[in-house]
Amino acid sequence: MTVRRTDIEGLLVVSWPVHEDGRGFFRQTYQRSELEEALGRPVAFRQGNHARSAPGVLRGFHAEPWDKLVQVVRGRAMAAIADIRPESPTFGQVRTFELGDGVERIRLFVAAGLANSYCTHGDDDVDYLYDVTEEWYPGADKRAVAWDDPDLAVAWPVARPQVSEADRANPTLRERFPDHPAFASATPRRRDRTGAGAHVVGHAGDEQESVR
């Protein structure tokens, strides 16, 4: 199968063979019909985006109201997908994937409402490409969550990542959904609000790519 379902509804792994020779390689990255079969619904991508990041940059978590199909075409990044949909049976769970050079070349389909984040690592700049099913518009509900949320407890590959001011200010999942039953009996974990765990960079306005 070139499209693999995961235990989180709406999170798919897309993997096609890589054909290599002395010139380089060729690979097909997705077929819409296979995505639609796996999801049981139509998919129509309307905008393509490209983000380049230096090593050690962390972006997210962001849960925009549209589907995404993401990939790393140069460099290396760890992607973390968190289920922050309060009605979901896997609410609060995270799955991580290595993307890019040196590992199996895959794409991730991230359904609307799932929170996406990634951290670049290694020695090279990272080119992160993703297609989305809606055109960006001002005021879109990003429903962001803290990258260092202690309940999500992601083991990032960089000890002190470079994080935007906007992402550093994101609330934790517990702060966003304080009355969720998942937190009713759980002991709150403390989040370091001192900024010691991140190198903070400025945020230039409300531009669509600046917080991806």
Q: Catalytic residues, which ones?
A: 62, 130
Residues 101, 189: Cα–Cα separation, whole Å: 35
CB atoms near residue 122 (< 10 Å): 16
DSSP H or E stretch at residue 93: none
Would you give the distance in Å from CA 94 to the centre of its chain? 10
Residue that has been written with the tokens 């290694």 in this structure: 122
Residues 159, 203: Cα–Cα separation, whole Å: 21
Question: In the 8-state DSSP scheme, what is residue 134?
Answer: S
CB atoms near residue 32 (< 10 Å): 12
DSSP H or E stretch at residue 184: none
Strands annotated E in 28-102: 47-53, 58-62, 68-74, 76-83, 94-100
Residues 82, 90: Cα–Cα separation, whole Å: 9
DSSP H or E stretch at residue 29: none
